[in-house]
Amino acid sequence: MPQFQVSTPQRTYPVEVGRGGIHRLPDFLPSNCGKIFVVTTADVWALHGSSLKDALGDRNYATLFFAGSEENKRLAHVEALAEQMVESGADRSSVVVAFGGGIVTDLGGFLAAIFMRGIPVIQIPTTLLAQVDAAVGGKTGANLVAGKNLIGSFHQPLAVLIDPGVLSTLPEREFRAGLYEIIKTGVIASEPLFHLLANGRDDILSHHHHIVDHVIAESVRIKAEVVSSDERESGLRRILNFGHTFGHALEAETRYKRFLHGESVAWGMRAATYLAHDLSMLPQEDYLSILNILDRYGPIPSVSGIDAAALEARLVRDKKTIQARIHFVLPVKIGEVVVRNDIAPERATHAIERALADCR
Ligand code: GLY
C-alpha cells in the first residue's frame, strides 16, 4: 500500500493509498485515545458506514451527522457539532474522524482544530477530490456569507487514509470533477502524470483499478511534497491553486450551485492556459495539449449567462488576492508553473472571455 509522509512544523503524518484502507484506522489512533467522533453525512454513512463500524469494532465512538453542502459549511454547524460532542462526553483525549467529501473533511478538521483548543483528527476522504486535495495538507475551515473558507485554520491530521474502493459509489460527475484536480497536479508538477492521464483517459473513466489507484497515489505523493515544503502557502504551495483563481470566481458568481469545485477548476485551468499563451509563456504544443485534455475529460456544465466583467470583479475580491494583487498560477510547460502578480487586468479579462466562449 503506497504511503507518503507529510512533514510540516506542526506534525509529520502518513497518507496511505490503498483499497480496504479504512480498516487500518485503528493503527493510527493514539494509544491514549478517548471517545472517537466520526463526522460524516447520512449518505456516506449509508454507503460506507459498515466498513468504518467494522474498523472501529468495540471502541467507544459516536457518529455525528452533518447535512453536507457548501451552504451548510458554516460556523453555526461547527458549533452544533461541538455541543453534541460535549453532550456525548468528549474531552481532550477525543479524536475526530472526518469521513466524507471535501466539505466534511474541511469542516470536521476545523471542528477538531478548535474543540477544546484542538484535538486530533484523522481524515478518511470518500470523494476523489477530497482524496487528492482537500483531505491532504491540513487546510480546514468554514464559509462566510462573504466567501468560501474565509474562516479556518491549518490543522494537520494524525493520518489520511485514502481508500479508492469507496469511489465505486461516487456519481460519475463527481468522479470527473476529482480527475480535474489530478490533471491540475500533472500540469503543475509532473509531465509523466499528465501524459498518463492523457493516454489512459478511457481506462481511467472506466474505473480500471490499477491506473486509477496509480494516478491517485501520484497526485497524493506530489501534494505531500508540496505541503511538506510550504505548509502555510507562503511560497511553493501556491502552485496548487492553478485554475483556482479563475475557478473560485466562477463558483462564487454562480453561488456554488452550478459547478462542482473540480469543474470550476477545470474552467479556471482553461482560462489560465489562455492567459499563459497570450503572454507567450507557454509553448504551442503544451498549450494545445492542456486544452485537449480538458476537453477530453469534459464537458463541464454550460457557462451560458455568466458575465466576464462579473468574474473579473470577483477575482479582485478573492481571499488569495493580496493588497489588490491577484496571484495567477500560469503554466510555462507541462509539469511546471510560475506564480505571477503583475498581469494587466485586460489580459485576464481576455482569457476569461475566451474560456467562457469555449464552454457555453
Ligand atoms: N487545495 C489547495 C491546497 O491544499 O493548498
- Residue 279 sits in a domain whose CATH number is 1.20.1090.10
The one-letter code for the residue type at 303 is: V
- 88-to-64, 74, 99, 116 alpha-carbon distances in Å: 10, 22, 19, 14
pLDDT of residue 312: 92
Q: What is the mean pLDDT of residues 226-242?
A: 96
Per annotation, catalytic residue among 139, 214, 277, 314: 139
The C-alpha cell of 127 is what? 470523494
Pocket test for ligand 1, best of 123, 127, 133, 225 (most atoms within 8 A of CB): 133
Per annotation, catalytic residue among 184, 244, 277, 314: 244
User: Is there a single domain that holds both residue 7 and residue 26?
Assistant: yes
User: Is there a single domain that holds both residue 208 and residue 158?
Assistant: no
- C-alpha 98/C-alpha 101 separation (Å) is 9
Burial (CB count <10 Å: 0-12, 13-18, 19+), residue 25: buried
User: Is there a single domain that holds both residue 99 and residue 147?
Assistant: yes
pLDDT of residue 97: 98
Given 168, 197, 220, which residue is the final one in a domain? 168
Per annotation, catalytic residue among 32, 87, 117, 210: 117
pLDDT digit string (tens) for 25-55?
A: 999 999 999 999 999 999 999 999 999 999 9
Q: What is the mean pLDDT of residues 99-122?
A: 98
Q: What is the mean pLDDT of residues 73-84?
A: 98
pLDDT of residue 5: 98
β-strand 159-162 against 12-17: which pairing, if any?
parallel
pLDDT of residue 177: 97
| DSSP of 81-129 | HHHHHHHTT--TT-EEEEEESHHHHHHHHHHHHHGGG---EEEEE-SHH
User: Is there a single domain that holds both residue 46 and residue 158?
Assistant: yes
pLDDT band at 316 (very low <50, low <70, confident <90, very high): confident
87 tagged catalytic: no
Nearest CA to ligand 1 atom 3: 240
In this model, does residue 324 exceed pLDDT 80? no
In this model, does residue 320 exceed pLDDT 80? no
Which of 162, 314, 157, 334 has the alpha carbon at shortest distance from 242? Answer: 334
Question: Does 238 sit in the ligand 1 pocket, CB within 6 Å?
Answer: no
117 tagged catalytic: yes
Is the separation of the CB atoms in 14 and 74 below 8 Å? no
The fraction of the chain above a pLDDT of 70, given in percent, is: 99
User: Is there a single domain that holds both residue 345 and residue 230?
Assistant: yes
CATH of the domain at 31: 3.40.50.1970
Q: Which atom of ligand 1 is nearest to the CA of 226?
A: 5
The reply to whether omega before 331 is within 30° of 0 (cis) is: no
User: Is there a single domain that holds both residue 146 and residue 291?
Assistant: no
User: Is there a single domain that holds both residue 106 and residue 212?
Assistant: no
pLDDT of residue 129: 98
Question: Does 139 sit in the ligand 1 pocket, CB within 6 Å?
Answer: yes
pLDDT band at 251 (very low <50, low <70, confident <90, very high): very high
User: Is there a single domain that holds both residue 126 and residue 159?
Assistant: yes
User: Is there a single domain that holds both residue 158 and residue 229?
Assistant: no
Per annotation, catalytic residue among 181, 218, 231, 312: 181
User: Is there a single domain that holds both residue 127 and residue 183?
Assistant: no
pLDDT of residue 26: 97
Pocket test for ligand 1, best of 6, 238, 240, 320 (most atoms within 8 A of CB): 240
In this model, does residue 322 exceed pLDDT 80? no
pLDDT band at 164 (very low <50, low <70, confident <90, very high): very high
Pocket test for ligand 1, best of 237, 238, 245, 269 (most atoms within 8 A of CB): 237
Given 112, 137, 168, which residue is the final one in a domain? 168
Q: How many domains does the chain have?
A: 2
- C-alpha 295/C-alpha 290 separation (Å) is 9
Given 147, 168, 189, which residue is the final one in a domain? 168
pLDDT digit string (tens) for 293-303?
A: 999 999 999 99
Q: 140: domain range?
A: 3-168
In this model, does residue 19 exceed pLDDT 90? yes
In this model, does residue 147 exceed pLDDT 90? no
In this model, does residue 224 exceed pLDDT 80? yes
User: Is there a single domain that holds both residue 108 and residue 240?
Assistant: no
Mean pLDDT, rounded, of the chain = 96
- C-alpha 208/C-alpha 221 separation (Å) is 20
User: Is there a single domain that holds both residue 273 and residue 143?
Assistant: no
